[in-house]
Structure 1
Amino acid sequence: MIVYRQRGLANIHTFLVTLIATGFLPLYREILPSLTYVNLEEVELLPYVVAVFLGMVTSSRLIHDRATHLHQLEYWNAFVLALRQAVVVAAFIFTFMFMAKDRTVSRLFLGSYLVLLTGILTVLHSRLPRMLADILFPDSAKMPTLFVGRTGNLEALDSWITNRGHLGMIPVGLLSDTPPSRIERAVAPYLGTTEKLAQVLRERRVGQVILLEWIDDPLVVERMIGLCESEGCRFLIHNNYGAKFARTFIPLEEGGHHFLALQHEPLEDPLNRLLKRLVDIAISLPIVLFVVPPLCIWVRLMQRKQAPGSLFFVNPRGGQNRMSFNMLKFRSMYAIEHDINKQATRGDSRIYPFGAFLRKTSLDEFPQFINVLKGDMSIVGPRPHLPKHDDEFSQVARSYRIRSLVKPGITGLAQVRGYRGEITDPEKLHRRVYWDLYYVTNWSLALDFRIIFLTGWQVIRPPKTAY
């Protein structure tokens, strides 16, 4: 089937690219001394070869994430992919160098190798997949494909079919009991009704049949399967539930049973949860021990001058699995009776001067590292809201509650994308929920570190939405 061809092409490409990148290091060691004064005779190269290999293997997921359009990468996209892989390789190389305290290796050698590696990978990513496809799927390996079903469902697959030619898939025609109502340029010509299936299979030497939609009558489907099996032909059923319900479904297999889920949940993996928790503790523990105490003293002194009252503002927020918890913040408003359910606005009279500074620089959020240590929050995750606001927002954005599948965070993807502060209209709420759900379904440690870095940048240079 096409999926195995696609996967195999990506695997072979990954193997060759890893082999070339790893082998280039000892080759470059032999070439460089003849071009410069650099002496590399005393360098123990094997650990660095291993580091390059591990870096390439670790970054191979970047290739597989692009497997469906690997053969279409333009030079810029190939360069971005190559650069990201080179960064991973550099991390492995320099980690070993500093851990081993190796002073014999030349920084010029390693630096120039990484620059050249980026160029080599760029060329390989932009050219090699097409060359491999031509070699692996010659004319003898072509897969004539027949489509069965309604024309509208075929049109939905138009771009997918067009972009599978490099894998040997050739559309030979369409069989449908509802003939096309208009003459148009179709990706596959109309050949007649489904009664002609046996005839077309034999005459066109079809290698693959794709049923374009689910059919309720099992006898009809069983007949098609029987005809395909008798002709040695593959049979696939296209899952068109996504188009039918205007949403994406995720196919899952568990215990021999097949399900369609609404989203991926990488943080349901206990290992991923453990890794995320370890990062939370590693970052929050030193902050709670060494940063929060002096901040408390500073904030307390300023509060006594400008707005006497409690040091912290403690109020309930919605947490994971819709469980509430008490979230800590440095108090940034005057200690008077006011509606805690009212969102802070720009120029809010309830905020005292130093409190405005705390909010603008996000320093008021630092006590939440205590919440992180307690396990109520994570450093990165959807920002928690008041339970009353959760109820209100869920009426506007239907999928809002999906955010609660993971722990809330001190910072989140929506915030670094510019959606922080007061929620003033439904469009902003929908965009914030969109990025929160993207985080829930696409979580990775790399994404967490990226959000942490961008948050640090926003602390240094607060955005206009910070108040």
Structure 2
Amino acid sequence: MLANRHRGLVRIHGLVLLLGLGVFFWLYAEFIMRYVPAVKLSREVNLLQYFLCLVIGLLVGGSRLRAVGTRLTRLSITEAAGLASQQVGLVALAVFSMMFATQDRSISRLFLGSFLVWSWLGIFWLHRRLPVRLARFLYGHGEQIPTLFVGRARTLAMLDEWLKQRLHLGVHPVGFLALDALAPAAPATIPVTGTVADLPRVLAEKTIGQVILLEVPAEPTVARLIVDQCQAQGCRLLVHHQVEEVLGHPVVSADEGGHHFFTLHDEPLEEPLNRAVKRAFDIVVALPVVVLVLPPLMLVVWLVQRFQSPGPLFHVRARSGEGRAEFPMLKFRSMHLAPPDATAESRQASVDDDRVYPLARFLRRHSLDEFPQFWNVLTGEMSIVGPRPVMPVLDAEFERQVRSYRSKHWVRPGITGLAQSEGFRGEIRTPEQLQERIRLDLYYIAHWSIWLDVQITLKTFWQVFFPPKSAY
């Protein structure tokens, strides 16, 4: 029931956004035509096709609204701004695609641009204010659900934070029944009404709309009693699973062939369509770089190397890719030539490393030495965004330090990644730095979206010109 209530809140919020922006589109167009002659918008312009593009963009953007999950009523300023940017970005893509496809020269670009700016401000404000007000209207006093909690005494302390996140859906706590004999003092919002043996009495005396079982009882007879009593009294039953607590790791649920499973990570890139979208993004970004940027950059680097550090243009070394399959990764050579030495090869570059020749310091700091890897992207060995690959000898060392390290090999490695865009570049000096890099890599794998790839790419592009202090 709670999931359906939240789903309804998201849908109504999206519908209000659609209606509000649709009405604003026509009112704003009328205002411009009547009172702002400086903007060349005539009544002969076919605004209907752009209105339909607005509707399509918002409908497609509805998936981004659903993705925020139960945080809809608690969006931070940054989250609300990001969500508004994604939705307005989709609207802009649809609108300008229509304009270019029809070669429409009659529509005012100033009108469209200013409309999108005002729309972003309006959507941002609605994301911050509307969900809470909608929840109060939809699930106020008349729609509250008297809720009884059942669990062990130690779980009682965890209820306060959970309730704060669910009160907007109309959850009204009326009592707590302990599965164990001890019933400790309860928070002021949740009175202790006894133990599970008192369930028949409590359900008979109080108007309970929902029972939330915080854990599955060890005794099957107790579990059966709870189910039977809830069915007999017409109460909804919501059962919380304890898999995460037992495993000590967050899990994702999945239904496969009528059986219910839990896994440690979600993997959006296991869906073929998502993989195709990511591959298309890789090609669209990498192809212009390989054709237009890489050739002149190669010439400049080669000429400077002739004077500062003669030797091969590229540094080609094996790296572990998707499924731990090795591939030859390309880089501009940024260090002086030296006799083969596995120990020296595995040494990470550090600040003022004497192995780096002068121009290479600039190349490394601005990530220009990584540009040959766009060829690895075109050949399918790498992606624009993904976990950064390291030397095989470091792979083995990091696997010993971080338990979940090998999970980064579920996807193709990237020229850049979420960790790099967050400033984790250069030498890994402490176990904490390694742990954080892997945490961000696994977060990326579990939460991949094309918009996340776009954000990381843009942030990395910015760092090419304004590199963080960790780049050297």
Q: Which amino acid aligns with 1:425?
A: T
Q: In the alignment, what sits opposite 1:431? A: 436
Q: Which amino acid aligns with 1:21?
A: L
Alpha-carbon separation, structure 2, partners of 1:453 and 1:172: 50
Query: How many residues of Structure 1 are paired with residues of Structure 2 in the alignment?
Result: 467
- Does 2:246 match 1:241? no
* Cα displacement string for residues 329-354 of structure 1 (whole angstroms, at most 9, x for unaligned residues): 11112222142111122222222223
* Cα displacement string for residues 159-188 of structure 1 (whole angstroms, at most 9, x for unaligned residues): 222332232221111111435564343432
The alpha-carbon deviation at position 77 of structure 1 amounts to 6.0
Q: Which amino acid aligns with 1:18?
A: L
Give the one of 402, 407, 429 matched to 1:397: 402
Q: In the alignment, what sits opposite 1:382? A: 387
Alignment of structure 1 residues 22-41 onto 2, 5 Å: 22-37=22-37, 38=39, 39-41=41-43
Given that 1:153 and 1:213 are in contact with CA atoms closer than 8 Å, whether structure 2 keeps it comes out as no
Q: Give the 3 Å change call, closer, same or farther, for CA 280–397 of structure 1 in structure 2.
A: same
Give the one of 452, 458, 466 matched to 1:453: 458
More moved, 125-134 vs 96-105: 125-134
* Cα displacement string for residues 172-211 of structure 1 (whole angstroms, at most 9, x for unaligned residues): 1111143556434343211111111111112112111111
Q: Give the 3 Å change call, closer, same or farther, for CA 205–282 of structure 1 in structure 2.
A: same
Given that 2:153 and 2:179 are in contact with CA atoms closer than 8 Å, whether structure 1 keeps it comes out as no
Given that 1:154 and 1:212 are in contact with CA atoms closer than 8 Å, whether structure 2 keeps it comes out as no
Task: Please tell me the root mean square deviation across aligned C-alpha atoms, in Å.
Answer: 2.2
Q: In the alignment, what sits opposite 1:362? A: 367
Alignment of structure 1 residues 67-466 onto 2, 5 Å: 67-73=69-75, 78=80, 81-180=83-182, 182-337=184-339, 338=341, 339-466=344-471
Alpha-carbon separation, structure 1, partners of 2:413 and 2:128: 40
Alpha-carbon separation, structure 2, partners of 1:343 and 1:130: 50
Does the residue aligned with 2:467 lie in a helix, a strand or coil?
Answer: coil
The alpha-carbon deviation at position 418 of structure 1 amounts to 0.9
The alpha-carbon deviation at position 438 of structure 1 amounts to 1.5
* Cα displacement string for residues 81-124 of structure 1 (whole angstroms, at most 9, x for unaligned residues): 44543343233223322333322122343233233323433443
Given that 1:329 and 1:364 are in contact with CA atoms closer than 8 Å, whether structure 2 keeps it comes out as yes
* Cα displacement string for residues 262-313 of structure 1 (whole angstroms, at most 9, x for unaligned residues): 1111111111111111111222223223332333333222222222222221
Q: Which amino acid aligns with 1:312?
A: F
Q: Which amino acid aligns with 1:455?
A: T
Q: In the alignment, what sits opposite 2:16? A: 16
Q: Which amino acid aligns with 1:454?
A: K
For structure 1, which runs of at least 5 residues remain unmatched after alignment? none
Q: Give the 3 Å change call, closer, same or farther, for CA 77–289 of structure 1 in structure 2.
A: closer
Q: Which amino acid aligns with 2:127?
A: H
Q: Which amino acid aligns with 1:293?
A: P
* Cα displacement string for residues 198-252 of structure 1 (whole angstroms, at most 9, x for unaligned residues): 1111211211111111223323212211111111111121123323443211111
Does the residue aligned with 1:183 lie in a helix, a strand or coil?
Answer: coil
More moved, 202-211 vs 75-84: 75-84
Given that 1:263 and 1:441 are in contact with CA atoms closer than 8 Å, whether structure 2 keeps it comes out as yes
Identical-pair percentage: 45
Alpha-carbon separation, structure 2, partners of 1:137 and 1:306: 71
* Cα displacement string for residues 361-397 of structure 1 (whole angstroms, at most 9, x for unaligned residues): 2222122122112211111111101111011112112
Alpha-carbon separation, structure 1, partners of 2:151 and 2:298: 68
- Does 2:52 match 1:47? no
The alpha-carbon deviation at position 426 of structure 1 amounts to 1.0
More moved, 451-460 vs 98-107: 98-107
Q: Give the 3 Å change call, closer, same or farther, for CA 72–281 of structure 1 in structure 2.
A: closer
